[in-house]
Structures are given as C-alpha cells and as structure tokens.
Amino acid sequence: MKKVLLIGGLCGMTMLRAASMIEDECREKEIAIEVKIQNVWESPTVYMDGLDVLIQMMPLYETAPCMLVSGKPFISHFQEKQLLSSIVEYLERGGEAS
Amino acid sequence: MIYTDHAATTPLDTRVFEAMKPYFQEQYFNPSALYSQAQKIRKEIEKARSQVATLLDADPNEIIFTSGGTEADNLAIKGMAYALKVKGKHLITSQIEHHAVLSSFKFLESQGFEVTYLPVDHTFRVSVDDFRRAIRPDTILASVMMANNETGTIQPIQELASIARSKEVYFHTDAVQAITSCKISVRELGVDALSISGHKIYGPKGSGALYLKKDTPIVSWITGGDQERGYRGGTESVPNLIGLGEASKILQSERADRESHGKVLRKKFMEQLKHHHLDFQVHEHPTYQLSHIVNIGFREVESESLLMHLMLRGVLASLGAACNSSSVEPSYVLEAGNVDRAYIKGSVRFSFGREISEEDVVWIANEVKEILELIGKVDF
C-alpha cells in the first residue's frame, strides 16, 4: 500500500480534487494506494513516517524523508497532468526515483 | 505565543470579566420584569449605556445596544434605507467596507435600491470630491467606514458627513475598527449613525452598539419586545452589555496610552523590517492611519505559508480580514487600492495590542526574516 499525503490550508477543495485525481490514476494502474489530506491550520504537525509522497500546497518543507512535491500545479492547473503522471509513475516504480 | 491579530478580536479584559461575572448566575433576572431585582439590573444596563455614550460623546438615549458591529451595521443601513425609501432609493458606500456593510448594501440592491460604490486611492482613502459628485437628488443614505479593518486607513468622515448633511443625505459610519485607537465624538464628526463592537476593545463577543442621532428615521430590523426603545427586540444579553459598558469606560481612560503604544510598536516593527532589507511595501496612509494595524505585502511570497510558519513559531497574525481568510481570493481592499499583485498575495496584517512589547515586535521581525529565507529555499 502506497501512502500519499497532501498538506495545505485554505485550498481544501483543491486538495480534495487532487487526492481524487491521484486515486483515480492509481486505480487505473492497479496501484494500491492511500491518499490523505491534512489541513495544517487545524493540525500543524506533519507525520512523515511511512509516506511515499508528500505534496505540499504551500512552501512549508525544504526536505522530507520521502518524495517531496510542490502541489502548485494543482492550484494553477499549469503542468497539472505532468505532475500527476510523475507522482503515479514514481509510485508504480515502487517509490524509487527514475 | 504572541498574538498580533487584535483587529480580528481582543482578549477579554480581566476587569471587564469581573464586572460581567455576577450577571451570569446571581443577577440573572430579566430586566423587563417589574420586581426590584430586575429593576436593579435595568439600572445597570442604563449605566452601561451611559458609559458607551460617554465614550462616543453622545446622549445615552442615542445608544441602541446590539449583538455586535455586524448587527449595528445591518440595523443602521437597512433600517435607515427602509425608513427613507419614500424620499429616494439611491445609496452610497465605498468599495472597501467590511462585509457587514457591503452585504447590507447588496441586500438592499436586491430590494430595488441603487448603490454607488466609491473607489479609493492607493492609500485606501475615499475622495471627498468623488463623494460629493456621487450624491444625486434621490440619494437618501451614505455609509463610509471610519477606518479600514485591513489597512487601518482613516477616512475623512467629518468632511463626508458635512457634505451629506448639506445635501440632506443621512450618514452612517462603521467605527468598529476606529474606536480602538481614535478619539470619537459623534457630535464633532456630525454623523447620524455610528457602529461599534465590544470584542475589538477588550470587551465581550456578542456585544455592540449603534449610535443613532435623535430623530433619525429608522425602522426596526429585529422585531419583538420593546427593548432598546423598540429598535431591537429581544431580552438583553445582560452580561455582555455590562461588559461593553465596562470596556468602554476603560477605553475612555486608556485610549491615549493605547494609541501611543501602538505608534511606538508600529515604528519599531517597520524599522526592524527595513533593517533586514526585506522586499516589502506597507499598505497604509502616511498620515491618516490607525496606529495598531500594519498591513505589509512581501514581494512574491505566499502569505499563507508565511502565516503558517509564524504560527509554528508562536506568532498569530492574519491574511487581512478575518472574515475573508477562508478564501484564497486576493483581498478586495488591497485590489481596490491598486496594490501590485506581486505584493497582494504576500500581504499579512499584523495588529498590535497593549500587551505586546517593543521586544516582541523586534523578535517578530527577526522571525519574518528567517521565515522568508526558509521559504525562498523551498522548491515550490
């Protein structure tokens, strides 16, 4: 089971949409996945253990013990598909960078 | 924790809380009842009314208690517009009013009134000439806020009210933010109605008041009993009104100190930010400015990220208007002031209170510098 966490604040609907898109893509590729979202205003502490991908919707972390991704394309819709593909491909490869 | 969001709300003053306490459990009687226990509470409410009236330089009979600033704005704008509609249906307000005012005008538009929304300049001030030109023969009411809640710019209310009076247009001002650090005399301002809120002045949430000049036409918006001389039905929230009175009394005696303290903090904070050579601009009026509000735009910075990092370091600030903070849309106030978009999205409002020290603001400025450096390193 691959684990993806989206963290953000005011962009709650955007996170829900992004999570849904990732789940749909992974289902198509038959990748077992758990996608969660976290509003960091409500819960500021982010637990990264066991995560495969951390997507941040605003600049919070410089590094993470997993793939760290800017979620900006999900907000601007610019290069959104490319981002989605790169996340799914990464998960498909078993969480290893190409 | 350092709380720098006093424009959103203030902590309840201990003295205010002590004054309110007996009215929760011991003195719970309905002030409209006939028995002496209730009459005693009636007298205390009237004392609170006098305290609010003294703060505003008004007559106690000109004070209507409400549940807060929003209700006071609604009562004034909708109530006066409906009372005056036989004379005309044109209304005037500004583009940068609080939502309590803007929503009232939007409602009136849906009811057949016509509204002119005055623009502001880059210092967020309404032009007196624009206001004069906007008045038409069928204009009945104007409402311009005394000071803006996002930027702290103070409007030329005395001049606007004078022009309105000369054209027989009634004038309301939302002074919810201004009351915190401006000395207000409704007589000197020449307004017909003025709104204030308790929780912005270290009083309780759920308390507010509308000053309504004697003989000003208005229709009640909350009907029920004869409380508040029939202008606002419903059993009085006694503890809150006692609290509002006490907070008004304290503000009356401490306002000058609070204002000068705000000025010192503001100056120190700016100096420190400049010292760090940060790329920012201040959204303000150089002269007509509330001392406790500092709205700063940091160039090409995600303000939500800055605020989040500040919160993690124990500093609580705001994106702008608290009522607007559930939206990621740019601030309509900053947009009305034609602020460069590169600075709008990085705008943060700090609003200082009496419990903040100079050391605190120096520390906050240092934290801002560190956070901006950190954010700059994040690949986003």
Per-domain boundaries in chain A: 2-92
Contacts of A10 in chain B (CB under 8 A): 304, 325-328
Distances (CA, A) of B218 to B141, B294, B353: 11, 36, 35
Same domain, B199 and B336: no
Residue among A40, A59, A61 minimizing CB distance to B302: A59
- Count of beta carbons in the 10 Å neighbourhood of residue B270: 17
List, in order, residues 6 or more apart from A46 with CB less than 8 Å away. A5, A7, A38, A40, A54, A60, A61
Domain stop point among B231, B250, B269: B250
Query: What are the residue numbers of the active site of B?
Result: 323
Mean pLDDT of B339-361: 95
In this complex, do B312 and A10 lie within 8 Å of one another by their Cβ atoms? no
Residue B369 is encoded by which pair of tokens? Answer: 């510098």
From B321, B312, B296, B331, select the one nearest B371 (Cα to Cα): B312
The residue of B308, B311, B318, B372 whose CB has the most chain A CBs within 10 angstroms, and thus the best one to mutate to test that interface, is: B308
Same domain, B62 and B177: yes
DSSP codes, A15-80: HHHHHHHHHHHHHHTT--EEEEEEETTT------TT-SEEEESSS--S--SSEEEE-HHHHH-TTH
* Interface confidence: ipTM more than 0.95: no
Q: What DSSP character marks residue B180?
A: G
In this complex, do B308 and A60 lie within 8 Å of one another by their Cβ atoms? yes
CA of B309 vs chain A CAs: smallest distance (Å): 7
Same domain, B106 and B227: yes
Between CA B28 and CA B30 the distance in angstroms is 7
What are the tens digits of pLDDT across the range B114-157? 999 999 999 999 999 999 999 999 999 999 999 999 999 999 99
Between CA B334 and CA B204 the distance in angstroms is 29
Residue burial B339-354, b: 16+ Cβ < 10 Å; e: rest: beeebbbbbbbbbbbb
According to the model, what pLDDT value does residue B127 have? 98
Same domain, B243 and B261: no
B379 touches chain A (CB under 8 A): yes
CA of A34 vs chain B CAs: smallest distance (Å): 24
B312 touches chain A (CB under 8 A): yes
Q: What DSSP character marks residue B331?
A: P
Burial class (CB in 10 A: 0-12, 13-18, 19+), B359: exposed
Q: How many interface pairs between A and B have CB atoms less than 8 angstroms apart? A: 37
User: B192-196, B198-202, B326-330: which has the minimum mean pLDDT?
Assistant: B326-330
User: B289-298, B323-332, B346-355: which has the minimum mean pLDDT?
Assistant: B323-332
pLDDT at A97 over 80: no
Report domain A2-92's class.
alpha beta
pLDDT at B323 over 50: no
Domain stop point among B195, B230, B250: B250
B5 touches chain A (CB under 8 A): no
Domain CATH number, residue B316: 3.90.1150.10
Q: Which residue of A has its CA nearest to B308?
A: A41
In this complex, do A9 and B308 lie within 8 Å of one another by their Cβ atoms? yes
To the nearest whole number, what is the mean pLDDT of chain B?
95
B378 touches chain A (CB under 8 A): yes
Element (H, E) at B315: strand B315-316
Handedness of CA B270, B274, B278, B284 (dihedral sign): positive
Domain stop point among B229, B250, B271: B250
What are the tens digits of pLDDT across the range B280-315? 999 999 999 999 999 999 999 999 999 999 999 999
Between CA B302 and CA B379 the distance in angstroms is 13
**How many angstroms from the chain centroid is the CA of residue B255?**
16
From A61, A65, A68, select the one nearest A83 (Cα to Cα): A68
Contact B145, B116 (CB under 8 A): no
A16 touches chain B (CB under 8 A): no
Contact B248, B55 (CB under 8 A): yes
Domain CATH number, residue B121: 3.40.640.10
CA of B326 vs chain A CAs: smallest distance (Å): 6
Same domain, B228 and B305: no
Contacts of B305 in chain A (CB under 8 A): 58-60
pLDDT class for B324, splitting at 50, 70, 90?
very low
In terms of residue numbers, what domain contains B271?
2-7+255-377
Between CA B218 and CA B107 the distance in angstroms is 17
Contact B85, B140 (CB under 8 A): yes
CA of B249 vs chain A CAs: smallest distance (Å): 36
Same domain, B240 and B259: no
Between CA B238 and CA B235 the distance in angstroms is 8
List, in order, residues 6 or more apart from B26 with CB less than 8 Å away. none
Contacts of A44 in chain B (CB under 8 A): 308, 311-312
What are the tens digits of pLDDT across the range A52-88? 999 999 999 999 999 999 999 999 899 999 999 999 9
Q: Which residue of B has its CA nearest to A63?
A: B378
